[in-house]
Structure 1
Amino acid sequence: MGWFRSGLFWRTFLLLSILTTVSMASWIGMISTMQRGAKVEQTAQLVISVVTITHAALTHSAPELRRELLFELVSNEGIRIFTLEDSDVVDPPPDNPLMPDIARIVREKLGADTQFSSSVNGVAGFWVSFKIDDDKYWLMLERERLSGLTGVQWLGWASVVGVLSLLGAALISSLINLPLARLTAAARDIAQGKRPAPLPEKGSKEIIGANRSFNQMVDDLQQVESDRAVILAGISHDLRTPLARMQLELEMAQLGAEAREGMQSDIAQMDAIIGQFLDYARPTEAATFVTIDISGLLEDAARAAERLPGMTVNTDIAQDLLVNGNATDLRRVVNNLIENARRYGQTPGTGATEIDISCRVKPTGLGKRVVIEVQDHGVGVPDDQIEQLLKPFTRMDTARGQANGAGLGLAIVERVVLRHNAELIVSNRQGGGLRIQILLPLAE
């Protein structure tokens, strides 16, 4: 059942195998039923014919020629004639489902006193009794002349047909599963930021239609990415240029210290929000992935965070852990998590922020993963609202305190993590605060 649930190939293969087995069993049963009557009649007529011909030959032959006749029957026909004695050791007839019907038909022709045996005096064969006047005789036929396919032969043929059927089922399952496997691999490439090769537009009309639609979707997504790059460049130029001019004019204006600080804070906030929008929309290209020393990257980020006022950073980072990814994007992820903790994770009643950063290797079902963990000691988030944190433009201000920003920090983290084929887990820390885990594949 695990194989049955694991994928379309095994599911199709198992269903085809069951169908083939049931069909074979039905055919064998039907053939056996249809052949039973014909087999009984054929065997009975053979026995009757042999006994009748032998009886006639012995009756009408001269006494001096009977020995020679018996020799010819043994040599050429495999028929032996013996005198029936009361002292003969007679075994029961052959244990065959057809034997009762054969015996009934033969006795109807040769007489009700006809006897059958599978062995007489230790000699195995198919024995039938008959009479010539008052003398009784045994006629022995070789079993090979009466036997059809044995159970071993039936099993052998059934095994050959079964193996060929299973190979055919495997081939059919592969052909059915191949287009879907290609589509799954292409969709996985898109999820990882890669541009997949065009899917072949051949096969059945359903496969052609699905592959053609998928190829068109890939082209449309590529065009959207190109258009977005142009828009991002426009936003960066059209918005940040006026902000820079405003900052310059503010420096030259004759304003009080309080008004100047307020306007500078507003400009810095607008510039940070624009930066968040750009980070959220910027694609992470898999082609830019390189091997990164994630341990060193986390230590650098921790040292930078310790220099911020009111920050305490506790680290437990294993050394020399390597992952594949975009160094700039992963650094942005770590900085976003630290900034998130700094803004929202202040320890209640202290006004200061304490952050725990750890990194270690953890074996999983998908291989070894590097687990990055960032925790704060704040008030945390209600459990029923944790999923909302990952949605764009969402801020849990009521739970985490007032802060500036567009609510894109964790949304940016999630987008980058997914493009790195990693996993993001958000939960509350025991004792208060938010815990964020990132599971990255360990580089070879």
Structure 2
Amino acid sequence: MVVTAAPRPAGRPPARGVMPRSLFGRSLLIVLLPLIILQLVVAYVFYARHWDTVTRWLALGLAGETALIADLIEQTPPPERAALLELARKRTGLALSFQPDTDLVEAATLAGIDERDVPATIREVFNEKVKRPFRLDLRIGQDDRVAVWVATDGGILRVLGERKRLTSTTTTLFMLWMVGVSLVLVVIAIYFLSRQVRPIRRLAEAADSFGKGRDIGDFRLEGATEIRRAGHAFNLMRQRILRFMHQRTDMLAAVSHDLRTPLTRMKLELAMMPRHQPGVADLMSDVEEMQRLIDAYLSFARGEGREVPELVDLQAVLAEMAERARRAGAFVELQPGPETRLPLRPVAIRSCLANLVDNAVRHGQRVGLSLQLGVHYVTVHVDDDGPGIPAEQRDQAFQPFNRLDPSRRRATGGVGLGLTIARDVALAHGGDIEMDNSPLGGLRVSLRLPR
């Protein structure tokens, strides 16, 4: 299968902003951002409007009762004040006490009153209602009560009441409900978003695997309508590509049969003719050259055929290529490396590496083979100490039937399809082949394969 490599993005790199990079993160942000804004608005309205209004009305009640009791104490003779306080205690539910001949500042100092935590709304209401010196303590003991000291003509009136008489106790409950419901909504949103994003991830994995030559079958349609349409389009594209590959392979098999038959007949007729007859040797050479051209072209056009990928130890394949070149009399140095198993088409990858090693042996005296492991790719380096290829001509080297040195004889220089076939195999596996200067002084050809 011939699949072109994805072009690298050109121009400036993508901006690194605060937006999440994944679709799941962005979708979750779309759900969470309005929810957070809504909570902030509701909290502001509750605290700035509702809570302030409720607190003012509650404070008005307690401040009014306190002011009324203080006025009554000033108007009541001292012997009758105890009965007045008892009656007020029964009717208001407040704990009342009167300390005669006591200074407000002295009483506040002894009680350790700290008015820094008193809200401005409550202070304003007490100033409006009481209209006499007073002190407020909202941190009285541990029993959730508040205390008010009021200065009268005869002494200090101490009023002790429940905190709910002065401040709203629904604040904590409101916050708990708001945060709790928000967390439940977030969990529900994460659950449904993960189910919607999962088919997209599966589709991306299927497209990536198919681009690397690892056919995993049709994509199972699931998720939203748009995702199902994308999956259906992927399945159609995959079937068209496979159908094209099969048709090309079958057509070339028929072409191979049709061309080999007349070539074989021509070779037999030439073999039966006397060798000394003028032109027979040249015709025999031309027929053999045509045979090589047809074989090379069919190998290039057929590509991998219908070979099924399987786990291949790439380091072991490099060792086979090195031993093969050494048997042919070449000096090959193989760098030791770890066992690296990748899903590859064994015949195709051996043909690719054989072409690269043969080119290095043909143009150099020393050949180096090495394997480099990366995060996403495995790279095979084939180095030689030959004349190399100029940088401006390296792209031309991969073109079919392109021989950079036309003066070379085909018997020694090939037909110009070795690198083309090798790159075709690399692209079919989702990789590529690149050229660079070799540490040995010649050319470095790097085969990059996805892990």
Question: Are the equivalent residues in 2 in contact too, given 1:291–1:322 (CA < 8 A)?
Answer: no
- The corresponding residue for 1:187 is 207
Within the candidate set 128, 138, 162, 1:108 is matched to 128
Per the alignment, in what secondary structure is the counterpart of residue 218 of structure 2? coil
Amino acid at match of 2:137: S
- Do the aligned partners of 2:386 and 2:442 also contact (CA within 8 Å) in 1? yes
CA RMSD for the aligned pairs? Answer: 4.2
8 Å contact kept, 2:59–2:166: no
Instruction: Provide the rounded CA distance (Å) in 1 between the counterparts of 2:441 and 2:408.
Output: 14
Contact 1:17/1:165, CA 8 A, preserved across alignment: no
| Per-residue deviation, residues 283-338 of structure 1 (Å, max 9, x unmatched) | 54797334445455444434443455xx6322225388453433322221122113
Partner of 1:42: 57
Q: Which amino acid aligns with 1:95?
A: D
2:251 to 226, 231, 235: 231
Aligned-residue offset at 1:18: 4.9
- Deviations along 1:156-191, one digit per CA (max 9) or x if unpaired, are 666545644543453354234223212112212312
Per mean C-alpha deviation after superposition, the further-off stretch among 34-43 and 62-71 is: 62-71
- The answer as to 2:94 corresponding to 1:83 is no
Equivalent of 1:358 in 359, 363, 369? 369
Q: Check if 1:93 corresponds to 2:115.
A: yes
Q: Secondary structure at the match of 1:288?
A: coil
Q: Aligned runs of 1:156-195 on 2, under 5 Å?
A: 160=180, 163-164=183-184, 166-195=186-215
Superposition pairs of residues 3-42 of structure 1, within 5 angstroms: 7-13=22-28, 16-18=31-33, 20-42=35-57
Q: String of CA shifts for 1:130-176, please: whole Å, max 9, x gaps.
A: 57786652222233443346998787666545644543453354234
Q: How does 1:368-383 map to 2 (within 5 A)?
A: 369=378, 371-383=379-391
Secondary structure of the 2:365 match is: strand
Q: Is the 8 A contact 2:196 2:223 kept in 1?
A: no
Tell me the distance in 2 between the aligned counterparts of 1:159 and 1:100: 27
Equivalences, count: 423
3-state SS in 2 of match to 1:271: helix
Identity across matched positions, percent = 23
Q: SS of the residue aligned with 1:397?
A: coil
Letter in 2 for 1:46: G
1:326 and 2:345 matched: yes
1:399 CA drift (Å): 9.8
Do the aligned residues in 2 keep the contact of 1:380 with 1:400 (CA within 8 Å)? no
User: 1:13·1:173 contact (CA, 8 Å) conserved in 2?
Assistant: yes
Kept after mapping to 2: 8 A contact 1:323/1:441 = no
Matched residue type, 1:193 = G
TM-score, length of structure 1 as denominator length: 0.77
Partner of 1:312: 330
Name the SS for the 1:105 alignment partner: helix
| Structure 2 residue aligned with 1:408 | 417
Task: Please give the alpha-carbon distance, in whole angstroms, between the structure 2 residues aligned to 1:210 and 1:121.
Answer: 67
User: Offset at 1:261?
Assistant: 4.7
What TM-score comes out, normalization by structure 2 length? Answer: 0.76
C-alpha distance after superposition, 1:334-358 (max 9, x if no partner): 2211333355x2xxxxxxx424142
Specify the code of the residue in structure 2 equivalent to 1:38. Answer: T
Residue segments in structure 1 that go unaligned for 5+ positions in a row:
346-352
Deviation of 1:235 (Å): 1.5
The answer to which structure, 1 or 2, has the higher relative contact order (CA under 8 A, 6+ apart) is 2
> Which aligned pairs between 1:418-437 and structure 2 lie closer than 5 A?
418-420=427-429, 424-430=433-439, 432-437=441-446
Cα drift, residue 259 of structure 1: 4.4
